[in-house]
Amino acid sequence: MDLQRGLPLLSQQYKALFKKNFLLAKRNKKSTLVQLFASFIFVFLLFCSQKGSKRSYAEVTDPKAAVSFPIPPCERKAHIRKPCFDFVWSGNGSATINTIVTAIMNNNPGRQIPLNKVKAFRTQDDVDAWLLNNPRRCPGALHFLVRNKTVISYGVQTNLTSITNREDRTFKFQIPLQLAAEREIARSLIGDPNFSWIVGLKEFAHPRMEFSSSLDAMIPPFFLAAAMFGFVFQMGSLVTEKELKLRQAMTMMGLYDSAYCFAVVFLLFFLFQINMLSFAFMLSTFIRKSSSSTTVGFAIFVVGFITQMVTQFGFPYSQGTAMKARIMWSFFPPNLFAQALHLLLTATSNPKGVAISWSKRADCPQSPDNYPPDNNDCVMTIDGVYKWLASTFFMWFILAVYFDNIIPNASGLRKPLFYFLNPLYWMGKGGNKAKEGNIFNCICSDPLLESVTPDDEDVLEEESHVKQQANEGIDDPTAAVQIHGLVKTYPKAIKIGCCRCRVTPPYHAIKDLWVNFTKDQLFCLLGPNGAGKTTIINCLTGISTVNRGDATIYGNSVRNSIGMSNIRKFIGVCPQFDILWDALSGQEHLRLFANIKGLPPNSIELIAQNLLDKMRLTESANGRASSYSGGMKRRLSFAIALIGDPKLVILDEPTTGMDPISRRHVWDIIEDAKKGRAIVLTTHSMEEADILSDRIGIMAKGRLRCIGTSIRLKSRFGSGFVANVSFSRSNDRQAPPNEDTVTETHHGAVKQFFKYHLNIEPKVENEAFLTFVIPHDRESLLRNFFNELEERKKEFGIADIQISLTTLNEVFLNIAKKAELESAAAEGRLTTLTLTSGVSFQIPIGSQLVRIPDSESTEHPTGLRVEVYWDQDDAGDLRISGHSAEMPVPPDAQAIVSSSNSNRNSGQRGLVQATVIDPSFLNRHD
């Protein structure tokens, strides 16, 4: 199939990523709504607070005098309680004052004040006492004192408590009381009740004015909060995608790095948000866990909030501050944003409303308290902020891409510090990351791997064959993958905990691997957990770098960036752990990866449909991946691996977690898929390996331990052939009374026959059958032996004889055991063996035959031995499952690990370590 390339592929990938992001946003409705509407809610709150707090005054050029100021009804005062009084007064007892107060009530302009709306007291203290006991019942009080016939003094007391901004207490309550008292006192003293006392009050002429309250200080933080919501969410989703290795999966399918970056960036279009987005992208390169991203996001918000406050107070955008400080300050986008808002606020509070227009963006705003403008203190205009924001956007974006490349990804992979100097990178062919480990780590300090010659003849032969091809420069036409001395070392890591620093040593995950994977064949990689299977796959797919050696896939080297970008076009990978978006459906996953792979757009729908059919996922094609069962997810991952008809399919434990029916179905698909392509499969199911594989390689501890067809491995590493002899039992009701004796005789005869000819005892024995394990070295005797047994079937009372090879499971266990023994011997890892007799001693993990310490006696001068049986626990570690009866040690038995190097590492203190005996003598003696 012809895949898209170059620009059309890049554009196809953009579209697919946009669609993916759109679908994710649509599916995660809650978070998208919060993300979208948070900004609206903030701006709405801001609008409300502005409405409530703003006071505006229209322009007044010819102010008119106000002349009539009546005492208003008490109910007009805000928050007054009923019944209320228009005013209260003191001085009761003086006839003159009584007359004055009556005149005040009767001559109130426009409204006569009723009697019940006025309260009289004798003294000022009485008034104060009443006011204290009756709060909010009266807006004002008048106090009169007749000093002599020509002097009457008065005092005005008003409730000046500010309840709302809109209530003008002075003009509404204080001045009317004052004017009424003065008027009536004057009339009383003059003795003319109609004496005119007109006072006019006139405001200044002024332009239109708008006054802001202290709430205005909250405007920049509100905008910042609105913008920061997007920032925190975006950073969260970037880190989550990284954490779930989704990005790695897309890269594996050939996604261009640049497509990924721009798809994210174009989601937001406001300048500040774009700025914060690139800032988020830059920060996300340092964060591995999505849980930390939210914390960091909010920390940035808090820091932004504080620096914004500082900016509002004029730092550093004023003349007195050094240029350096201003530049440093401007790198943090919220500071520029704060300055822009500060400028806009200053400009909008100007009555002339200049400085907001686009044409005036480069002018300094004129504030009402700086009128005429004093440009000395204006060091950054809106235009300057725009330019800074545009520059910092590019700066953060470039830094984000740079850090993304040089900081190790989830597989510890990164590009060199000066990768951008490599022209290949700019040709779009430097997609794979090259170096390993921390930027400050030096991989050269890792210990070199010692070269070990394989002890298995088949592995040695494969190695020599591949080495010879490599030396002669032969490109084997039958080989799909050629692995040449591959070494993968995970560098030492420094883990900083809360109280201490832990250094993990470098780890050789693959140790000098030489192997070919043949075209049109399925190569099955087996091995216990941690053997290095996934690491090989990671090296082949470019997820991990290779430390030494090389691997070529259809002639393209994984160490070469051009080779790697070619490889990505024709490989399909089903990773060990499903890398799927919970919110996308199976069908959408297939479409997305088909687009990333560059399949012709018009064929994608059909291909997705066929793959869903093939994987029996059609019914749940539109269901979200989060609702899929474990097995369904595996099938979807497998389907993704088959997109684009890849020439090499790599399946890392594809059937893990599947039910037997699905598993068999997937086996059929794999069997089908074998035609015309190479498949590398890892599995922990020996049955699967047995059925599907053309060739099997068993790994342990980073080395290939054996290689060959299933039959070859069974015959070489199994304990031999298993012979099952079943005996005929008479169904006749009138069976002879001595039948048991007859059976015993038959059993005895067969046992003797096996002992005599093959020198073996039965492994399992019961009334109906005997099971013998025949070691391989007796293979040559088998033909005559079974011929004779067949002839004497009747004589021995044999009903049937079955012979089979031992299982792959046993081969696997033997190899794992051997590898464990090797490493236990090397590392000196010990475990305690307690015999049924109660004796306890230490043995190296994995040892088969051990001499019981201090068991020498006159009867057994060489001591006693036991055979230890091992199985593996869930973690793949060997554990003791039992032991044989105690038997004498033959005099010619060789010791492999002697008890001299005892009590190392995990050994239990006080226990003696047993000597391990070479099991090869078993074949000679048993």
Ligand X SMILES: Nc1ncnc2c1ncn2[C@@H]1O[C@H](COP(=O)(O)OP(=O)(O)OP(=O)(O)O)[C@@H](O)[C@H]1O
Biggest distance spanned by C-alpha atoms of the chain: 159
535 sits near ligand X (criterion: CB under 6 A)? yes
Contact window for ligand X (CB under 6 A) among 179-187, 234-242, 397-405, 530-538: 530-538
Nearer to ligand X, 120 or 493 (CB): 493
Cβ-proximal residue to ligand X, closest one: 534
User: Going by C-beta distance under 8 Å and a sequence separation of 6 or more, which residues neighbour residue 442?
Assistant: none
Neighbour-count burial of 909, counting CB atoms closer than 10 A to its CB (0-12 exposed, 13-18 middle, 19+ buried): exposed
Q: Which of 777, 504, 518, 543 is nearest to 652 (CA)?
A: 543
Contact window for ligand X (CB under 6 A) among 306-314, 371-379, 529-537, 663-671: 529-537
Nearer to Mg ion, 430 or 654 (CB): 654
Choose the one of Mg ion, ligand X, none that binds residue 490, judging by a C-beta under 5 to 8 angstroms depending on kind. ligand X
Q: Which of 91, 316, 412, 797 binds ligand X (CB under 6 A)?
A: 412
CB of 684 to ligand X, least distance (A): 6
Q: Are 464 and 441 in contact (CB under 8 A)?
A: no
User: Going by C-beta distance under 8 Å and a sequence separation of 6 or more, which residues neighbour residue 832?
Assistant: 840, 841, 842, 843, 908, 911
Q: Binders of Mg ion among 475-534, rule CB under 5 A? A: 533-534
Q: How is residue 502 written in tokens?
A: 């832990």
| Plot region of 638 (φ>0 → left; ψ -120 to 50 → alpha; else → beta) | alpha
Q: Are 99 and 239 in contact (CB under 8 A)?
A: no
| Chain centroid to CA 572 | 24
Amino acid at 73: P
CB of 1 to ligand X, least distance (A): 30
Based on C-alpha coordinates, what's the Rg of the chain? Answer: 46
Partners of residue 765 on adjacent β-strands = 770
Amino acid at 510: I
Contacts 24+ apart (CB under 8 A), 704-707: 704/454, 704/459, 704/462, 704/513, 704/515, 705/456, 705/459, 705/815, 705/818, 705/819, 706/456, 706/458, 706/459, 706/811, 706/815, 707/456, 707/458, 707/459, 707/462, 707/515
Residue 132 phi/psi, 5-degree rounding, is: -65, -40
Q: Which of 17, 400, 513, 531 binds ligand X (CB under 6 A)?
A: 531
Residues in contact with Mg ion, total (CB under 5 A)?
3
Q: Which x/- pattern over 367-406 shows residues binding ligand X (rule: CB under 6 A)? A: ----------------------------------------
Q: Binders of ligand X among 794-813, rule CB under 6 A? A: none
Q: Which of 99, 438, 576, 903 binds Mg ion (CB under 5 A)?
A: 576
Q: Which x/- pattern over 492-511 shows residues binding ligand X (rule: CB under 6 A)? A: ---------------x-x--
212 sits near Mg ion (criterion: CB under 5 A)? no
534 sits near ligand X (criterion: CB under 6 A)? yes
Nearer to Mg ion, 533 or 817 (CB): 533
CB of 824 to ligand X, least distance (A): 16
CB of 411 to Mg ion, least distance (A): 13
Q: Which of 165, 375, 529, 629 binds ligand X (CB under 6 A)?
A: 529
CB of 544 to ligand X, least distance (A): 8
Choose the one of Mg ion, ligand X, none that binds residue 507, judging by a C-beta under 5 to 8 angstroms depending on kind. ligand X
Residues in contact with ligand X, total (CB under 6 A)?
14
Nearer to ligand X, 91 or 575 (CB): 575
576 sits near ligand X (criterion: CB under 6 A)? yes
- Indicate the DSSP class of residue 20: H
H-helix segments, 115-213: 124-133, 169, 175-190
Choose the one of ligand X, Mg ion, none that binds residue 911, judging by a C-beta under 5 to 8 angstroms depending on kind. none
CB of 536 to ligand X, least distance (A): 7
Q: Which of 530, 555, 657, 888 binds ligand X (CB under 6 A)?
A: 530
* CA 382 – CA 377 distance, rounded (Å): 14
Q: Binders of Mg ion among 636-675, rule CB under 5 A? A: none
Q: How is residue 407 written in tokens?
A: 């900081």
Nearer to ligand X, 410 or 768 (CB): 410
228 sits near ligand X (criterion: CB under 6 A)? no
Contact window for ligand X (CB under 6 A) among 276-284, 363-371, 525-533, 848-856: 525-533
Q: Which x/- pattern over 462-491 shows residues binding ligand X (rule: CB under 6 A)? A: ----------------------------x-
Choose the one of ligand X, Mg ion, none that binds residue 176, judging by a C-beta under 5 to 8 angstroms depending on kind. none
* CA 759 – CA 85 distance, rounded (Å): 125
Q: Are 677 and 646 in contact (CB under 8 A)?
A: yes
User: What length is written for the chain?
Assistant: 926
CB of 526 to ligand X, least distance (A): 9
* CA 681 – CA 672 distance, rounded (Å): 14
Q: Are 361 and 386 in contact (CB under 8 A)?
A: yes
Q: Which of 532, 646, 718, 863 binds ligand X (CB under 6 A)?
A: 532
Q: How is residue 877 written in tokens?
A: 């570690």
Nearer to Mg ion, 284 or 534 (CB): 534
Q: Which of 254, 437, 527, 797 binds ligand X (CB under 6 A)?
A: 527
- Residues of this chain that bind Mg ion (CB under 5 A): 533-534, 576
Question: Residues in the site for ligand X, rule: CB under 6 A?
Answer: 411-412, 490, 507, 509, 527, 529-535, 576
